[in-house]
Amino acid sequence: MEKLLDVENVSISFIQYTKGLNQRELKVITDLTLDISEGEILAVLGSSGSGKSLLAHAIFGILPENANLNGKIKYKGKELSQEDKEELRGNEIALIPQSVNFLDPLMKISDQAIGHTENDAEKKEKKIKQREIFEHYNLGPEVDEMYPFQLSGGMARRVLVSTALLSDPKLVVADEPTPGLDEKTVHETLNHFKHMKDNGVGVLLITHDIHAALEIADRIGIFYSGYVIEIAENKDFSGDGENLLHPYTKALYKALPANGFELTKGHQPLHGEIPKGCPYYDRCEMRFDRCRDERPELIDLGNKKVRCFKYEEGAEDGT
């Protein structure tokens, strides 16, 4: 399978005014590394407010003016410039936004799904295609004439999914597609992603819902305090979590009500308070001395990756 997207050491910071004309740089994403191939679903799992939606915005080149983006975002091996992103977005890469609030409230559904067209012939052609895809997702002709406020939650989700698929994208980025939906609709939405995967589309699922991630993702990237601390395979989230590598991922797995509801103390460092060394140092049970001042890199272990000195080659056990 061909590699689609490579995100390497991406960091995003914002310039903020504190008092008067004093500025400070607030780092929200410190080090984000992940990759995604054709026909693969990769979930990025992080708590709400942790800044993971910024990843989607960075890929599409729609970060706000005061944001600083560092690191590389590569598509099919080629590093993307802002112009490339503008060229690719809506064509080969499509975004499924969080909610219908991203639609124009005064525009009919079918018109905005089709988007800009040069002439009538193109419009007709696109209209046929749009109808085909909408039909496939169980959206009847009456939906074409509706305005966004007339859609139910599940229908809205189907509209967003089918609109994203209109341009035959190779890569779909879904930003928090599940909150606010009832169980049946969540299941239905996740099935759409499985279906895309079967058609060879790469899906990047950005979510805080571990159940959703485990239901469909092939690999899961764990986002903690601005870092990707582990990329684990779905099958590792089983049994006692013994195949999970990072102590945070283990704790997260064991905290699920079905897996013991185990208590772990501590909290994620806030933006602006991120320590110099390992972000998990304060809470870690198996930390080394060096973890306090030295930041571990993401170690590549074939299909998995982990950001922890314990898994470095030649690392000794214990402290």
Partner 1 sequence: MELKATNISFKYPTAKNYLLKDINLTLDNNKIMGLIGDSGSGKSTLCKILSGYVTNYEGAVTFDGKALPNKGFKSIQLIYQHPEKVMNPKWKMEQVLKESWDVPDDILNEFGIQKSWLTRFPQELSGGELQRFSVLRSLNPKTKFLIADEMTTMLDAITQVQILDSVLKVVKQRKMGFLLVSHDMDLVDTICDDKIYLKDINGV
Residues in contact with partner 1 by CB under 8 A are 47-50, 179-183, 208, 210, 251-253, 255-258, 261-268, 270
- Which is nearer to partner 1, 128 or 263 (by Cβ)? 263
- Which is nearer to partner 1, 132 or 182 (by Cβ)? 182
CA distance 40 to 193: 10
- Which is nearer to partner 1, 193 or 253 (by Cβ)? 253
3-state class (DSSP) for residue 282? helix
Contact 100, 179 (CB under 8 A): no
CB of 241 to partner 1, least distance (A): 12
CB of 30 to partner 1, least distance (A): 16
- Which is nearer to partner 1, 240 or 262 (by Cβ)? 262
CB of 35 to partner 1, least distance (A): 24
CA distance 231 to 34: 8
Nearest Cα neighbor of 107 from 145, 164, 155, 151 is: 145
Question: How far are the Cα atoms of 144, 211, 259 from residue 183, in angstroms, in the given order?
Answer: 26, 11, 21
CB of 183 to partner 1, least distance (A): 7
Token look-up 């997260």 returns 252
- Which is nearer to partner 1, 73 or 231 (by Cβ)? 231
Side-chain half-sphere of 36: how many Cα atoms within 13 Å? 29
3-state class (DSSP) for residue 183? helix
CB of 3 to partner 1, least distance (A): 29
Q: Residue 167 is inside which H or E element, if any?
A: none
CB of 275 to partner 1, least distance (A): 14
- Which is nearer to partner 1, 172 or 252 (by Cβ)? 252
CA distance 244 to 311: 12
